[in-house]
Amino acid sequence: MSPLVLALIALATFCTSILSGIFGMAGGMILLAGLMALLPVATAIAVQGAIQLVANGSRAIFSRAYIDWRILGTILLGLLTAAALLFIIRYTPDFVTVCIAVGLMPILVWIPKDWLALDASKPVHGFLCGFFGSGLNLAVGVAGPTIDIFFIRTEMDRRTVIATKAAAQVLSHSAKIVFYGAMASAMAPGDWIIALIAAPFAIIGTNVGYRILQRLSDEGFRRWTRYIVTGIGIFYLIRGLIALQAG
């Protein structure tokens, strides 16, 4: 891969990590879109998982005082259940499925609270968050809006939401690396180099985003999260439908 492409990936990682540092998602969605333009789908998901593991890991460390460990435990149980199911059925992602699935996710953040009153602080809901949210992350590479509906309606403030979601994403991205890295053709040595080069930019971007988050109100945080994720979802949906029609 040329130095110019590596530089562009590093820049994209920095910018998307800032976005994720502020809103707890959206950055990974954009980064995955860029990587899928350069790499096979399974490889792109694995590389994105490695980069996002660093970004979310640093975000979880920066905000570790706000992590709700009880919620994280129930999410882990759901993730392990989903991972076992995907392994049993020998799941393999494809470009169209990933794009359409990610494109439809933002619908979830617009569902009225009274229609789907999910709360990750409740044990059963936390398990479902891990099974559907983190499981979807494992299946298609991202699942920000799916996880978000379990947090955005809780009574937790934005710092606890960001910290706990970051820790949950560390678990799901780790699972992605193991799941897709185990595939013989998923990641070549050069792909790991991409992740290593992008890693420090992920940490720096996350730190910048975390500082911006401290100046954002809870109301502004929730409002802008919806708009940004919806815009990204529309892009993915259009891209998937075009690929479906062409294929």
Report pLDDT digits (tens) over 71-84: 999 999 999 999 99
- SS3 of the chain: the string is CCHHHHHHHHHHHHHHHHHHHHHCCCHHHHHHHHHHCCCCHHHHHHHHHHHHHHHHHHHHHHCHHHCCHHHHHHHHHHHHHHHHHHHHCCCCCCHHHHHHHHHHHHHHHHCCCCCCCCCCCCHHHHHHHHHHHHHHHHHHCCCHHHHHCCCCCCCCCHHHHHHHHHHHHHHHHHHHHHHHHCCCCCCCHHHHHHHHHHHHHHHHHHHHHHHHHCCCCHHHHHHHHHHHHHHHHHHHHHHHHHHHHHC
Higher-pLDDT residue of 174 and 113 is 174
How many domains, in total, are found in the chain? 1
pLDDT in tens, 120-144: 889 999 999 999 988 888 888 887 7
The owner of tokens 């494992």 is: 138
- Per-residue pLDDT at 112 exceeds 80: no
Q: Using 50, 70 and 90 to split pLDDT, how confident is the model at 211?
A: confident
What's the whole-number average pLDDT of the chain? 84
pLDDT of 159 reads 83
- The reported pTM is 0.77
- Per-residue pLDDT at 242 exceeds 90: yes
Q: Using 50, 70 and 90 to split pLDDT, how confident is the model at 154?
A: confident
pLDDT of 177 reads 81
pLDDT of 15 reads 92
Containing structural domain, residue 241: 3-246
